[in-house]
Chain A
């Protein structure tokens, strides 16, 4: 008997309910479900998962794939971890805030804004996190085009100017 029955049932249920919104569903091992979701419908999928007991948003991982930016929402009921991947274009990166479903997302979403430059629609204004105040505007260090040496050089020059 397969030991991933619960995971398979969840994927089946999501596909039946949301159809083409769910793409590339895969189960990499017991307790690990990965799905790509159309970013316009992501909130509906998350709201549905929350009613199923997936109340815990562990974190949000931003990523840079070259042409696209994106984020993975790691959501769990403490037994199964569902990883929801959303993608957005690099030229105009925008994702909707998930605060109405997961009120703890504030700092994770600020990380996306600071480190990847993804604009989060619906995230209230606030101070930088985790980058310090006065960090060069428009530089998002975890993007692939930002090279470590150049970043260090730029920060050194900035500090020298301020001295």
Chain B
């Protein structure tokens, strides 16, 4: 295996890092274990004091850095995140669940009781909040790393930046820019496929268009996205309003910009439905 001196050792005292999970699929923590070439170098540089998925030696706080995966969706977790914040000098959230509520935030647009009934025979045994919310809704967060899942290189950059005491350098451009640089022929222009690339933050490597499908926004809204422009310019004609709304409602459904635009599209639909009924 090739040696990758990703995190040079500067001093002997290693910062104590906790990796914790809320409602999520484990994929973003797994990204850390997927840093095959860099994992051992990272473990040389920071001390994983509490990382249940990787180690049975769980040490109590305080921690220099807490990395949080997952969203808050139960009464218990609402308290847990507050306690955790109090024990952490810095707190970073990773992934769509932690930064936007995740795919489970689709329940925010529906009745949570109906959801429980659909899955469980005895819904009263299940304790959940009606909404799935990002960590920053509950406590102060020092940095949010987007992605469903997060990108390995970006995660390493975040850890490196933390170890060096600086802000991480992660892009805020949209998926379109790296897509062009990758040399992919635009799927909207050439194949008339709906694509959320223009309003989605880069970070994944613009994979979907390179695989002949439209971006479905794993990294959430880009900075100041032109949502109306997207709906009226790029999606209309390819998708009906409800289809376009649903396209926006996936892994970042509860992000402010996506939520507002999808609700606007639903409203247009329900208004036109009423007009049709009236005529």
Partners in one complex: no
Interfacial residues, chain B to chain A (CB-CB below 8 A)? none
